[in-house]
A and B are shown apart, each in its own frame.
Chain A
Amino acid sequence: MAQMTTTYEKVSLRAKRRWQDRIDIPQVVVFMAAASMIAIVALLLLFIFWQGIQLFVKDGQSIGTIFDSTWNPLADTPEYGILPFILGTLVVTVGALAISTPLSVGLALFLSEVAPNWAKSIVQPALEIFVGIPSVVWGWLGITVLVPWLSDTFPKKIALTLPIVGQVFSMPGFLTGFSWLAGSLVLSIMVLPTITSVSYDAFRAVPQELRTGSLALGTTRWQTIRHLLIPAALSGVLTAVVLGMTRAAGEALAVQMVIGNSPTLPAAITQPVTTLTSQITLDMGNTVFGEPWQDALWTMSLVLLIISVTSVVLVRVINKRRLGA
Chain B
Amino acid sequence: MTAAARPAPMPGTTPKPSLRQRTSRGSALADRAATVVLWGTGAFVLLLLGSIIVHFALAAAGVLSLSFLLDDPSGSSLGGIMPVLWNSIYMLVLTMLIAVPVGILGGIYMSEYARENAVTGAIRFAEESISSVPSIVVGLFGLILFVDNAHWGFTALAGALALTFFNLPLMTRLAEQALRSVPQEERSASLALGATKWQTIRHVVLPLAIPGLITGVILTAGRVFGEAAVLLFTAGVGTPPHYDFTNFDLSSPVSPWSPFRPATTLSVYIYKLNSEGLGAFKNQIVDGSAAVLIAMVLIFNLGARFVGRLLTRRMTAA
Residues of A at under 8 Å CB distance from B?
24, 26-27, 29-38, 40-41, 43-44, 47-48, 51, 103, 106-107, 109-111, 113-115, 119, 122-123, 125-130, 132-137, 139-141, 143-145, 189, 192, 218-223, 225, 243, 246, 249-253, 257, 277, 280-282, 284-285, 289, 298, 301, 304-305, 308-309, 311-312, 315
Contact = CB atoms under 8 A, between A and B. Distances in A.
Given A114-B39, A253-B229, A126 B168 contact: no
A137 B270 contact: yes
Interface string B123-142: 10111111011111110110
Nearest to A309: B129
Given A27-B113, A35-B123, A122 B141 contact: no
Contacts, number: 247
Residue from the set B39, B109, B123 with the largest chain A CB neighbour count within 10 Å: B109
A139 B35 CA distance: 33
B31 A312 contact: no
A312 B129 contact: yes
Given A115-B42, A129-B297, A222-B27, A48 B172 contact: no
A34 B148 CA distance: 27
B38 A109 contact: yes
Given A34-B106, A144-B283, A280-B140, A225 B34 contact: yes
B109 A31 contact: yes
Given A37-B126, A111-B42, A281-B232, A137 B293 contact: yes
29 contacts: A26-B197, A32-B105, A33-B172, A34-B107, A34-B110, A35-B123, A36-B168, A37-B126, A44-B138, A47-B144, A103-B44, A109-B38, A110-B38, A122-B46, A130-B49, A132-B222, A137-B294, A143-B274, A144-B287, A220-B30, A222-B30, A225-B34, A250-B136, A250-B137, A252-B134, A277-B134, A284-B143, A301-B136, A312-B132
Given A223-B31, A250-B135, A134 B293 contact: yes
A285 B270 CA distance: 17
Is the contact region of chain A dominated by helix, strand, or loop, or is it mixed? helix
Secondary structure class of chain B's binding surface, majority of residues:
helix
Contacts of B136: 250, 252, 277, 280-281, 301, 304
B63 interface: no
Given A37-B106, A111-B42, A114-B39, 18 more contacts: A31-B113, A33-B172, A36-B102, A38-B123, A40-B165, A106-B40, A134-B227, A135-B267, A136-B293, A144-B283, A145-B55, A219-B27, A221-B35, A222-B27, A251-B134, A253-B228, A257-B275, A301-B137
A132 B134 contact: no
The 9 closest A-B pairs by CB, nearest first: A250-B134, A134-B226, A33-B105, A220-B31, A30-B109, A34-B106, A222-B34, A132-B297, A34-B109
Given A107-B45, A136-B270, A37 B130 contact: yes
B69 interface: no
B: contact size bracket: 35 or more
B250 interface: no
B193 interface: no
Nearest to B101: A33
Interface string B45-56: 110110010010
B108 A30 contact: yes
Nearest to B119: A35
A173 B24 CA distance: 46
B28 interface: yes
Given A30-B106, A132-B226, A252 B135 contact: yes
B61 interface: no
